[in-house]
């Protein structure tokens, strides 16, 4: 029997906004910041951030000024108020090391998040073990990612560490981001890791389509996260939900062994209680869960978003600017973890490659049998969505070693699927509820999913029998 879940939104709203607290106001120009876009202001801004006080403080980067800075370390009980422009410093000789510290891997990763490098450059805005921190304002934070993208694509051997995030908050609680524009991140734009009570709202994220791996927001091994009323256009996933990465322990990237590291099974790295609602997603690849999900992902509610909407000036008649899959559950073999209690409901999707895609062999050509870790996918609900112009409607490709359970697909309307395309592809779904979906045929696809896999299994066995040794 399919279970519907409701986790209390009150858990996501217990954050007391910093902006409602009486605060000591500190203008960075009073600490020597110039704000002419040429002079480096790192030291002055950092002095304002670290100004000793028992009061809550607001560090202000005033409007009509452009500040140039190296990475900054934010602290507890503060508002970082960006009303002007804050630009990341970039060395055009690609000698990043002089300004960008290199950090060891996060606790839930065996290496840096980018490109398999062991170390990762510190994010432009960084906080660790902070409480009651807000980043807000009417201005722009620009990561100047163009130089990093070029180095990654053409000179990757020159980078001793992975590219930095624009904003990374680690092991922190009561975090809020609102109002600002975040653009041209070198790598992922916002990355809260091992955090609790995170509210990201009314921000704008911008990066060009060609920007490699530049996700919008990547909540990672965190709890009670609310992402709402944002406007995101980027070079990869609009949202990518993660919970760390382990594997067989036989590679640089998957160096943490899932079966020997108790932290992944204990819930320490769990990603839970996440709501994504009322956002506009423009250029980009939709909402992804995975592939780094070794700590588990549960209680995710994704509703009332628009995906694939063009920005003014790029309007197509069909309003489409998305590519990839609007809702994508992706697991990589041997990384374990699970997806439980995930709802994708009442969203509107325009002209993406696909509407829903569940895959258990992401970036792999074969599935690995037990005893290696396989991802569990259970209680997934896809309800009341509308989509137009999909090349593929719904693909549910579950593992034959751990089939999907309790999949609910109700009242979805998918228009303009190409006539020469099969709108539905299914494999290895053991229990499901399906009704009132258009175009018809999904029920038969789910019903026959195990039979289809049996045919594939027989074909594989026959090929093995005739293959030369």
Question: pLDDT tens, position by position, for the chain (469 residues)?
Answer: 445 454 544 444 445 555 556 899 999 999 999 999 999 999 999 999 999 999 999 999 999 999 999 999 999 999 999 999 999 998 666 566 678 999 999 999 988 888 777 899 999 999 999 999 999 999 999 999 999 999 899 987 778 899 999 999 999 999 999 999 999 999 999 999 999 999 999 999 999 999 999 999 999 999 999 999 999 999 999 999 999 988 776 555 566 778 788 898 889 999 999 999 999 999 999 999 998 999 999 999 999 999 998 876 555 555 567 788 999 999 877 788 999 999 999 999 987 888 999 998 776 655 556 666 688 999 999 999 999 978 789 999 998 888 999 999 999 999 988 877 889 999 999 999 999 999 999 999 999 987 544 444 444 555 444 443 3
pLDDT at residue 463, as a whole number: 47
> Rounded distance, CA 329 to CA 324, Å?
12
Closest by CA to 82, choosing from 36, 25, 136, is 136
Q: Which residues share a beta bridge with 393?
A: none
Check residue 320 and report its DSSP letter. Answer: B
Assess contact for 238 and 232: CB atoms under 8 A: yes
What is the DSSP track for 264-276? HHHTTT-EEEEEE
> Rounded distance, CA 361 to CA 349, Å?
25
Bond prior to 293 in cis (omega within 30° of 0): no
Tokens standing for 439? 């175009």
Which residues fall within 8 angstroms of residue 147, CB to CB, at 6 or more apart?
A: 90, 91, 92, 94
Tokens standing for 21? 């607290």
Assess contact for 452 and 396: CB atoms under 8 A: no
SS3 content of the chain, % helix, strand, coil (to 5): 15, 35, 50
Please, what sign has the CA dihedral across residues 79, 135, 178, 227? negative
Q: What is the pTM of this model?
A: 0.91
Strands 392-397 and 131-136, bridge-based pairing: unpaired
> Rounded distance, CA 413 to CA 83, Å?
43
Q: Which residues share a beta bridge with 60?
A: 27, 81
Tokens standing for 230? 């944002």
Check residue 437 and report its DSSP letter. Answer: -
Assess contact for 247 and 287: CB atoms under 8 A: no
Assess contact for 406 and 380: CB atoms under 8 A: yes
> Rounded distance, CA 205 to CA 118, Å?
28
Task: Return the CATH class of domain 64-466.
Answer: mainly beta
> Rounded distance, CA 263 to CA 297, Å?
14
Burial class for 153, CB neighbours closer than 10 Å (0-12, 13-18, 19+): exposed
Give the DSSP H/E element, type plus range, for residue 47.
Answer: helix 42-49
Please tell me whether residue 100 adopts helix, strand or coil conformation. coil
pLDDT at residue 228, as a whole number: 99
Which residues fall within 8 angstroms of residue 313, CB to CB, at 6 or more apart?
A: none
Q: List helix spans (H) across 389-448.
A: 442-447
């Amino acid at each position: 029997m399919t279970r519907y879940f409701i986790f209390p939104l009150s858990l996501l709203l217990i954050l007391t906004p910093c902006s409602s607290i009486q605060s000591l106001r500190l203008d960075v120009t009073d600490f020597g910041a110039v704000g002419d876009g040429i002079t480096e202001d790192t030291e002055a801004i950092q002095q304002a951030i670290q100004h000793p006080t028992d009061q809550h403080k607001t560090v202000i980067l005033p409007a009509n000024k452009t500040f140039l800075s190296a990475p900054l370390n934010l602290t507890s009980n503060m508002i970082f108020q960006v009303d002007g422009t804050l630009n990341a410093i970039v060395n055009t000789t690609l000698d990043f090391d002089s300004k960008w510290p290199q950090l060891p891997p996060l606790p839930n990763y065996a290496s840096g998040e980018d490109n398999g490098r062991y170390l990762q450059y510190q994010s432009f805005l960084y906080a660790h073990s902070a409480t009651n921190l807000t980043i807000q304002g009417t201005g722009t934070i620009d990561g100047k990612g163009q130089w990093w993208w070029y180095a990654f694509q053409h000179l990757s051997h020159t980078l001793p560490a992975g590219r930095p995030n624009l904003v990374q908050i680690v092991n922190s609680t009561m975090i809020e981001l609102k109002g600002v524009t975040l653009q041209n991140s070198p790598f992922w734009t916002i990355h809260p890791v091992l955090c609790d009570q995170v509210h990201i709202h009314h921000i704008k994220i911008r990066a060009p389509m060609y920007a490699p791996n530049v996700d919008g927001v990547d909540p990672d091994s965190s709890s009670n996260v609310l992402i709402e009323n944002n406007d995101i256009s980027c070079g990869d996933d609009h949202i990518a939900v993660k919970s760390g990465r382990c594997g067989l322990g036989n590679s640089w990237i998957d160096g943490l062994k899932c079966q020997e590291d108790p932290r992944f099974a204990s819930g320490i790295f769990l990603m839970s209680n996440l709501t994504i609602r009322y956002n506009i997603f423009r250029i980009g690849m939709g909402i992804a869960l995975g592939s780094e999900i070794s700590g588990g992902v549960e209680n995710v509610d994704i509703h009332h978003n628009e995906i694939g909407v063009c920005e003014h000036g790029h309007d197509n008649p069909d309003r489409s600017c998305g590519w990839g899959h609007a809702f994508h559950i992706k697991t990589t073999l041997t990384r374990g973890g699970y997806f439980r209690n995930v709802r994708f409901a009442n969203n509107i999707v325009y002209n993406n490659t696909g509407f829903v895609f569940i895959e258990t062999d992401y970036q792999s050509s074969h599935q690995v049998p037990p005893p290696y870790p396989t991802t569990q996918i259970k209680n997934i609900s896809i309800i009341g969505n509308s989509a137009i112009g999909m090349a593929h409607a719904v693909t549910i490709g579950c593992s034959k070693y751990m089939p999907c359970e309790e999949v609910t697909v109700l009242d979805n309307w998918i228009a303009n699927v190409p006539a020469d395309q099969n709108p539905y592809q299914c494999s290895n779904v053991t229990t499901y509820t399906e009704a009132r979906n258009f175009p018809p045929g999904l029920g038969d696809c789910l019903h026959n999913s195990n039979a289809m896999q049996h045919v594939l299994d027989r074909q594989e066995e026959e090929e093995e029998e005739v293959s030369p040794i």
